[in-house]
Structure 1
Amino acid sequence: MDSGSTAAQDAYWTSAVSTLTGDKVYVRGYDLEDLVGQIPFTAAIFLMVRGRVPTPRETRVLDAVLSGVLDYALEKPGTVAARYAVSANPSMAIGMAAACMSVGAHTLATEDTGRFIVATHREYLDSGLALDEFADAKVARLRAAKQRVPGLGHPVFKKVDPRGALLKGVAVEEGLWSEAAEVYEAVHRAFTRLPGKSDIPINDVGVMAAVLLSLGFTPEEGTGLAVLSTLPGVIAHVSEELAALKPIRIVSRDSVAYTAGTTGEFSAAREAAGWDERWRELPQG
């Protein structure tokens, strides 16, 4: 074992992402100055996350992913959260942070779907079954366990999510639609054969998860890239909010059903809870 390996093992932190040496920055081993203007930003993203220079085909597919969910108006929780936050604290960084913190199991995050695709593909390879037979059995097991297939369904799009269809089309053209993605599609087909489920599509997040796995990204990296893909829209919304100069956005009263009422008699409630005047004699503060 050489001294460099020993030093790395003994170090409190180790990182292969970038290195600083004198007046140079090396990204994944490459001089940053050599990268600028030589590859597009999408390829640089791939290099940063995966640690290697991507092919033009991989870059085109990742570029399609990063363009697939740029914005969804004010019907995306992260966008609304960003604008509310900025109306109280007018800062671009605050707005972007609020949007990122709104990503999760119910919106944008691809990691649950990615993990499902990876695990299901492994199950298929171990099953020895024909693809459709496996998919039907998989859906039956999920239903029996009252578990959902992640990445399915959309409040607006029926049968096909057009954004997902475009992403898949680019991946197929470039030879980057994997067997794991095909197994996921088979599970979706089996699911839509159930009564009342025929209109449910694979949504944009589901297709993004499948494509990002085909590119070699982990499920967790996929969520990071999904967040990155939506940030241009967030920047635009936050910029619009900053220009609006409308402080303290609120939820209007006519859109809320307040059920607490206004007739509560506090004195009676206080007495019923066991409070008496002795507490006033205790030191306050």
Structure 2
Amino acid sequence: MSQDADNIRKWWQTSIIDMEPGKIAFRGHPIEGLIGNVSFPQMIWLMTRGDLPTKAQALLFEAALVAGVDHGPQAPSIAAARMAATCGVGLNNVMATGVNMLGDVHGGAGEQCAELYYEVAQAMNEGVELEEAVEAALQNWRETRGKIVSGFGHRFHKPVDPRAPCLMQLVREAAAEGTVSGQFAEIGEAIQRAIGRSRGADIAMNIDGATAVIFCELGFPAPLSRGLFCLSRSVGILSHGWEQMQQGGRNKGPMPPNYLPLYQPKDPDE
């Protein structure tokens, strides 16, 4: 092989796929052995982690993915997708529009929450007690990110986000069976209690806090929490985009046409 050919082959290096004419293998597994034998959540795990999960791990992982698929048109990602669907773009453009709305504020809370959990876990690994580690992590959070702690509280679901208790129960059951350690469930609930004490009222753990518990329990790095949420929410974005296409409508904006934005002229003295 010439030096140029060798350099070209090395331009993109991957351990994810081995492909040549007549051959496709993901992480060393021939595609023929995966089709019909692994679930889509197992495939996501394989592609991102490099190995296949146990059945119990896959079930817990799948539960987190199922829980985040949709939150209705009031969610910015879904609203944007539905509006895009009325603008004459294709379904792939509709989905891209919705996914591109998933940023630090809407869609990124799971990653931020996982970072917080891992910070507490690191302190505990160094010998700090749970409650002390939580208080220190929350103080650091508030000094650097403000009073709103990602993963806790919800503008719509009060006092309970119905998704979180279900997921946390599954984590507890998985911990009892030895599938996961249960450490991050304890950390998440300790943070929830600490926030409640500081505000003088209970606060809900939301979907981001609960799925972050699961992703941390399963060993996913914090940044993947956001990517996995994007995969999950893509199901809702696809569904709403397709539904809007069937309903029709053109250039459907965020408000009915008989409601106009408030015109507020600029104060010339400002």
| TM-score (norm: length of structure 2) | 0.85
Give matches, 1:167-206, under 5 Å: 167-175=167-175, 176=180, 178-196=182-200, 198-206=201-209
Which ranges in structure 1 are unaligned for 5 or more consecutive residues? 1-6, 270-285
Matched, 1:111 2:114: no
Asked if structure 1 preserves the Cα contact closer than 8 Å seen for 2:120 and 2:134, the reply is no
Asked if structure 2 preserves the Cα contact closer than 8 Å seen for 1:117 and 1:181, the reply is no
Shift of the alpha carbon at 1:96? Answer: 0.4
Give matches, 1:18-37, under 5 Å: 18-37=17-36
| DSSP-derived class of the 2:99 partner | helix
Alignment partners' CA distance in 1, 2:263 and 2:157: 32
Shift of the alpha carbon at 1:212? Answer: 0.8
Matched, 1:214 2:213: no
Partner of 1:227: 230
| DSSP-derived class of the 2:85 partner | helix
What's the % identity of the aligned pairs?
26
Partner of 2:59: 60
Asked if structure 1 preserves the Cα contact closer than 8 Å seen for 2:116 and 2:137, the reply is no
Partner of 1:13: 12
Q: CA RMSD in A?
A: 2.4
- Farther off after superposition, 142-151 or 202-211: 142-151
| TM-score (norm: length of structure 1) | 0.81
| DSSP-derived class of the 2:11 partner | coil
Partner of 1:87: 86
Shift of the alpha carbon at 1:253? Answer: 5.1
218 and 140 in structure 1: CA distance in 2 versus 1, 3 angstrom threshold: closer
Figure out how many residues of one structure are paired with residues of the other and give that number.
254
Asked if structure 1 preserves the Cα contact closer than 8 Å seen for 2:120 and 2:130, the reply is no
Alignment partners' CA distance in 2, 1:255 and 1:70: 31
Q: Which has the larger radius of gyration?
A: 1
Alignment partners' CA distance in 1, 2:11 and 2:228: 28
Matched, 1:259 2:258: no
Cα deviation per residue 1:62-104 (whole Å; 9 max; x = unaligned)?
1101110221121111000001112113311011001100112
| DSSP-derived class of the 2:104 partner | coil
Asked if structure 2 preserves the Cα contact closer than 8 Å seen for 1:82 and 1:234, the reply is yes
Matched, 1:238 2:237: no
Partner of 1:158: 158
Asked if structure 1 preserves the Cα contact closer than 8 Å seen for 2:160 and 2:204, the reply is yes
Shift of the alpha carbon at 1:141? Answer: 5.0
Alignment partners' CA distance in 2, 1:11 and 1:162: 49
Asked if structure 2 preserves the Cα contact closer than 8 Å seen for 1:171 and 1:177, the reply is no
Alignment partners' CA distance in 2, 1:160 and 1:254: 32
Partner of 2:98: 99
Cα deviation per residue 1:227-264 (whole Å; 9 max; x = unaligned)?
11122221111111111221111233525211138xx9
Shift of the alpha carbon at 1:167? Answer: 1.2
Partner of 1:121: 121
Asked if structure 2 preserves the Cα contact closer than 8 Å seen for 1:177 and 1:211, the reply is no
